[in-house]
Amino acid sequence: MILIKGIRFRRIEAIALWPFVLVKSQNPSQRTLRHEKIHLRQQLEMLILPFYLWYVFEWMYKWWKLGDADKAYYDICFEREAYKNEDEPHYLNLRKFWNFTKYL
């Protein structure tokens, strides 16, 4: 675990950085890949850069509001959508545009 000025970073298994999904494991689970593909769709819908800005600002606001960086991470609308739907193989085929706003 990495600690930087009081911020505890979770162990990262994968991360979506448009247009790539970077994974730690040579054999990531389908669940992990679906989670990250949901983020890629979110990034594309928001024209990439605004996604990252929104993500950081929402996390900072939730960290301030909740007083816990990990809880703030899980409460970000993008993460809520991805975690809720990562087990659904056809989610991206059925997903509505800007569906993450349901999780605000």
- What is the value of pTM for the model shown? 0.89
Q: Are 62 and 76 in contact (CB under 8 A)?
A: yes
pLDDT digits (tens, 9 = 90+) for 37-61: 999 999 999 999 999 999 999 999 9
Write the DSSP string, 69-99.
Answer: HHHHHHHSHHHHHHHHHTT-TTHHHHPPTTG
Domain extent listing, the chain = 13-103
The runs of H, that is alpha helices, within 1-104 are 30-45, 49-66, 69-75, 77-85, 91-94
Q: How many residues does the chain have?
A: 104
Tokens, residue 62? 């939730």
Residue 10 pLDDT class (50, 70, 90 cuts): low
Residue 2 predicted with pLDDT over 80? no
